[in-house]
Chains A and B, each alone.
Chain A
Amino acid sequence: MIHSLFLINNVGDLFLEKHWKSVISRSVCDYFFEAREKAGEPDNVPPVIRTPHHYLINIYRDKIFFVSVIQTEVPPLFVIEFLHRVAETFQDYFGECSETTIKENMVIVYELLEEMLDNGFPLATESNILKELIRPPNILRTMVNTITGSSNVGETLPTGQLSTIPWRRAGVKYTNNEAYFDVVEEIDAILDKSGTTVFAEIQGVIDACVKLSGMPDLTLSFMNPRLLDDVSFHPCVRYKRWESERVISFIPPDGNFQLMSYHISAQNLVAIPVYVKQNISFFESGSSGRLDITVSPKQTMGKVVECVVVTIHMPKVVLSASLNATQGTYKYDPLTKILVWDIGKLNPQNTQKQPNLKGSLSLQSGAPKPEENPSLNIDLKIQQLAISGLKVNRLDMYGEKYKPFKGVKYVTKAGKFQVRT
């Protein structure tokens, strides 16, 4: 199982080590540094690295490498999932997962890691349970603790730890009982030069924020559950009822959690909310090029497309850009070679005047015409719309007497949305 964990920042400083079994010398990380160097970009470091006596399985999150050491045959996905869970827990506890926050809360970090694994076996990874064992830091509590001498470590066994519903603690009480659900869909798409869809799919999640007293038993149903044929549920969801009735029945964890994720594949028709017309060309001579991009809305079911941003990674030889945007602002960073055009809202009414970015690019003189075609990355957001058409029908609560306040919000975003040129 997981033997040790090393945290390494993106300049290669090892700033935390934790061993769950015998101590492994940090020199084992030299193999990691070697691979890191070879990879160039931090994103390109291979997740599994073989060394003569160990395996290093690592993830890169928030500019930190989480490098775990294993010695025996362990499912790598298990380790990777766990490492992500560690990163999420830090995020959850300290607001952000960064070298600074981890160093600031070193002792809590250590306590958390000790609580999450025992002998390399996961022990408590549910945020609910961890928070009962180790209270997250906040200024007020630190003050109170210093005055009263009490600690931030829970003294009793977390209630959820062993029940059949380990994700929920007992005795939850709220004065305002509320349950909110966010249906968030991300469009992953590749469009080719001409604007036709090469590939598109929707990654959806339903995030929940449930603050309900007692032991509520909820049932969520959809208007069109047939859309969902590929789903992953939070452990609280009763799979059998989904199989037979296509409703989501569950006793929720307390607080924020991801109820389910789903995937609507390329086979179904995925609506693409914007239309992008673009032309980026470089001339053989004269060390220059032209750029002309137009973005217009389509198929948005009457909703406004907001926060539209176009990002282009230019070839290395592009020195500067002299462009004119009819809407929004553009910025070209000659160091990173990234051109960002922040458009803002796309107005569906005004079909005549579509946002357009046009102008010339100047290249390093004497350099050959770039070989690669830069890709456009599109970011966007549509409020109050799930692009797949998924709609929540109703939410019912059983087991408790009070009437909760309920709400559902929809939002569509661009995921990995890419236009080839």
Chain B
Amino acid sequence: MTDSKYFTTTKKGEIFELKAELNSDKKEKKKEAVKKVIASMTVGKDVSALFPDVVNCMQTDNLELKKLVYLYLMNYAKSQPDMAIMAVNTFVKDCEDPNPLIRALAVRTMGCIRVDKITEYLCEPLRKCLKDEDPYVRKTAAVCVAKLHDINAQLVEDQGFLDTLKDLISDSNPMVVANAVAALSEIAESHPNSNLLDLNPQTINKLLTALNECTEWGQIFILDCLANYTPRDDRESQSICERVTPRLSHANSAVVLSAVKVLMKFMEMLPKDLDYYGTLLKKLAPPLVTLLSAEPELQYVALRNINLIVQKRPEILKHEMKVFFVKYNDPIYVKLEKLDIMIRLASQANIAQVLAELKEYATEVDVDFVRKAVRAIGRCAIKVEQSAERCVSTLLDLIQTKVNYVVQEAIVVIKDIFRKYPNKYESVIATLCENLDSLDEPEARAAMIWIVGEYAERIDNADELLESFLEGFHDESTQVQLQLLTAIVKLFLKKPTETQELVQQVLSLATQDSDNPDLRDRGYIYWRLLSTDPVAAKEVVLAEKPLISEETDLIEPTLLDELICHIGTLASVYHKPPSAFVEGSRGVQHKRLPARAGSGESAESPEVGQSGTSEAPPAVIPSQGDLLGDLLNLDLAPATTTVPSVQPSMQMGAMDLLGGGLDSLPGVSHRTEMQSPQPSSDYSERELGGDIGGSPSMGAALGAPAAMPAALSNAPAVGGGLGDLFDLGGGVGMPTGFYVAPKTLFLPAMKAKGLEISGTFARRGGIIQMDLSLTNKAMSVMTDFAIQFNRNSFGLAPAGPLQVLTPLTPNQTIDVSLPLGTTGPVMKMEPLNNLQVAVKNNIDVFYFSCQYPLSLLFVEDGKMERQVFLATWKDIPNDNEAQFQIKDVHLNSDAASNKLQGSNIFTIAKRTVDAQDMLYQSIKLTNGIWVLAEMRVQTGNPNYTLSIKCRAPEVSQFVYQCYELVLKN
């Protein structure tokens, strides 16, 4: 006789029959009927219609029958709340039963019935059960509080159950303590700031005592709770560690991992020279290794956590490489994790073993795994320099196997090896080229093309190879197209004579026949670059590349520290902070490791850490795609603001700006030289050149990404800053004197690990100042501030150190004024008034760029003699004159003149013709450039006309902006 008989009743009228049986007088028949009902319920059949009949069976002495009815009630009470009330009386009565098992069962079941009307009746019995003489009832009641809280949190608080629960932490029975901790932890999760688990040395001591005596599950709750505590000093930390260590030998792997978490966290506080510290490190290795002999699911979670532990403290497992060797019948998810850890542990000492293993894996069946193994070989080469040669020869062996995906994967990693060790392993290129035809994956094709382009001078038939790719250009993926474009340009720069046609072909394919904006823009950039200045092009395209680092996949340190505090949780499996993904975690507390004793930093309790402030994970190195996007941003922004028709001769000014000297003749000759036909300038697309507007500065803009990618990645912020800077609705009244724009955000906190910088520029009494507000939005103290500028158009440079004398505590803002000089190194920026800034603190170096109003550079002695003005005006060619409209200015000419004078724009003369005032004005920049202006103000017309003449016409636009700014504020 088995329960399967209960499933056989599938005929019609089943419910009706059951109803009759449930109302039978015979006990045995009743029980059988209830069993049938439960069986139907478990397979998902709807038996809710039998509710009243089943509840009628509840009042019975038969415990099994009672339990079955309870099972039914829990499932269906919610759908029949009015009926459920019928059960209340029996529950209340059962809570008084002399048998503790029945008391506990009643209170437990009541808590599971999520019906408000029942909950109301639950409070009194629950209160009694929380103080029951029998610990079994108490521990059940403790969990019931958590259930009730889930249904009606307010009720639990009003009834004072939370306090009773807190008292249970001091209960004499360890199981009650464990359940109280579990219940409190669960409640605390939905109440992040309630401080429910108020941990102090006394409670910690109680928990540690209960830890030794409670069940394995209770131990997990207690250990997880302990992990939230921050010991007062290293001695307390050590004593807790000592009492937790025995848990490492527990058979339950969850207990072990929770213990590891506590130890990893508290270890942080122990001084490293302590003997105990070393002992503890040694004790951590065996249990971690043991976890790997458990069931695969357990192994997986363990491996994800070991991955974190290895990054935080590689010394723990450095001798245990072999346990991570992959067995062929491991599930794929275990294999991939093991591989990842193997690479993290790879060092000079064990590299031979690791390589032999990896080579073995590369012949396995599973394609994903094989690919990852091949990649791993490449990562080893990059990580352990001494092994690079061996890795390369292993990869070559693998390429010889001709297994398609192995070859492709090998080529991808060899590309990285070339990057890391340039000019070392080029002898293998020939072998790589043999496999060109078999490559069908975009990544491998792109890698191969990169190699061909990079080493074009050593590959005799590089042009043929690249040409063969070019045939199916439009069928390639974007990745390959971009790479092909770059590679051919490289080839052209290296072998200009034979490859003109090829480069022309690829440029027209990329710019004219492609719909992809990335590709098109890159094509245009190269085109312009090649047509204007091949020398610069060479510098840009063939620039030395930044080295790639071996540890690109490391978890960012602050995130790693947070994850270490979450060992054993879902966060540790996903390697993301809990705030990033846990449903309903309104304000998860950011946990962090306690500070080591004597490090000077005060260790605050993690409980008081700010919650809610969503700290976005700090930006990592921007990927290639971002960089390109930003590059284009930078490139496009000025294009929209420059005057549409710039005459060729105007380029000279730009040259001069770079050189600083205005009248230098060599500049002119240089210019003509530039204009003279170069191999590249025989493109017939003249209109294209005109469109683009001569911008030799392109080289600088393009060269920048290699030098400071981080700064460039801030480009979008620059755009915003510009908008804000010229936001005219600011309403800041500023009668005379230099107009200081309101501070704008230069560097958002999320890009700089919590450091936020906003600022503005001012010229006060002839001194240029950068006014900065530094705000610490991180949770640790920031110190050691320093600032540095990149070379810029006018040689702006800090004239003194950044005066942040006191450490910046979390949430504190400090205002500093940084004096600037104009004697720094000069490089023309795009736009002209762009300033790239690096700020350093104890955490890292951050880059941002901002734009300053040109009026910053207008010097006090900028008033020109009338005669000189006249002569100069005539002297500057008319081509250099630019006209602007200043709209909606409601000032008369005198007021305007006064206002401008505050910003060192001097009115030399004023003429009135036909109710129109003509103001002649002069400005001198810090680098000696004179700007002459004529402003026409018609009475009654709010629009001014401004003509600006200058030998360096680039500045006109920015001078105009200063007029706007000053006159409108």
Chain A residues proximal to chain B, CB less than 8 Å? 1, 15-23, 26, 39, 41, 43-44, 46-48, 50, 53-55, 58-60, 71-78, 80-82, 84, 103-108, 110-111, 114, 118-119, 121-122, 125-126, 137, 139, 142, 146, 149, 151-157, 161-162, 164, 166, 188, 190, 192, 198-199, 201, 203, 229-235, 239-240, 242-243, 258, 260-261, 263, 265-267, 315, 371-373, 375, 377, 416, 418, 420
Contact = CB atoms under 8 A, between A and B. Distances in A.
B924 to A, nearest CB: 64
Given A43-B296, A72-B189, A103-B7, A263 B286 contact: yes
B217 A106 contact: no
30 contacts: A19-B75, A21-B112, A22-B78, A23-B78, A59-B297, A73-B571, A76-B573, A77-B254, A78-B568, A84-B298, A106-B38, A111-B67, A111-B71, A121-B179, A121-B217, A125-B216, A142-B1, A146-B1, A146-B28, A151-B31, A151-B62, A151-B63, A229-B286, A231-B249, A232-B250, A233-B250, A235-B215, A235-B251, A265-B323, A371-B401
B2 A104 contact: yes
Contacts of B71: 110-111, 114
Interface string B212-239: 0101110010001000000000000000
Given A78-B220, A119-B143, A161-B136, A107 B38 contact: yes
Given A74-B570, A104-B3, A233-B251, A157 B101 contact: yes
B332 A44 contact: yes
A119 to B, nearest CB: 5
The 6 closest A-B pairs by CB, nearest first: A230-B286, A151-B64, A153-B64, A104-B2, A77-B254, A47-B297
B interface: dominant SS = helix
B394 to A, nearest CB: 15
A48 B287 contact: no
Contacts of A261: 251, 290
Nearest to A147: B28
Contacts of B583: 53-54, 71-72
B682 to A, nearest CB: 51
Interface of B: 1-4, 6-7, 27-28, 31, 35, 38-39, 42-44, 62-65, 67-68, 71, 75, 78, 99-101, 108, 111-112, 114, 134-136, 139-140, 143-144, 146-147, 150, 173-175, 179, 182-183, 186, 189, 213, 215-217, 220, 224, 246, 249-254, 256-258, 286-287, 289-290, 293, 295-298, 300-302, 319-320, 322-323, 325, 327-329, 331-333, 356-357, 360, 363-365, 401, 403, 568-571, 573-574, 578, 581-585
A73 B143 contact: no
Nearest to B101: A157
Contacts of B254: 75, 77-78, 80-81
B570 A48 contact: yes
Contact of A108 (B3, B175, B250): B3
Contact of A77 (B1, B290, B302): B302
Given A17-B44, A151-B63, A50 B2 contact: no
B108 A162 contact: no
A119 B112 contact: yes
Given A72-B584, A232-B251, A263-B293, A418 B328 contact: yes
A190 B254 CA distance: 28
A26 B44 contact: yes
Contacts of A231: 249
Given A73-B578, A77-B257, A146-B28, 7 more contacts: A21-B150, A26-B44, A58-B297, A118-B140, A121-B143, A162-B135, A198-B356
A225 to B, nearest CB: 14
A76 B569 contact: yes
Contacts of A80: 254, 295, 297-298, 301
Given A118-B108, A261-B251, A107 B328 contact: no
Given A21-B150, A47-B300, A107 B3 contact: yes
B286 A23 contact: no
B213 A164 contact: yes
A224 B296 CA distance: 31
A104 B35 CA distance: 12
A77 B301 contact: yes
Contact of B6 (A106, A258, A260): A106
Nearest to B258: A75
Nearest to B76: A23
Nearest to A55: B570
Contact of A243 (B7, B246, B403, B569): B246
A356 B804 CA distance: 81
Contacts of B290: 230, 232, 261, 263
A235 to B, nearest CB: 6
A304 B38 CA distance: 54
Nearest to A146: B28
Contact of A119 (B43, B135, B146): B146
Contacts of A84: 295, 298
B589 to A, nearest CB: 11
A47 B252 CA distance: 18
Contacts of B2: 104-105, 137
Contact of B99 (A156, A203, A418): A156
Contacts of A74: 569-570
A184 B331 CA distance: 25
A268 to B, nearest CB: 12
A43 B331 contact: yes
Nearest to B250: A232
Contacts of B286: 229-230, 263, 265
A266 to B, nearest CB: 4
Contacts of B44: 17, 26
B669 to A, nearest CB: 66
B143 A420 contact: no
A39 B333 CA distance: 10
Contacts of B571: 73
B42 A17 contact: yes
A416 B71 CA distance: 43
B213 to A, nearest CB: 5
A41 B430 CA distance: 40
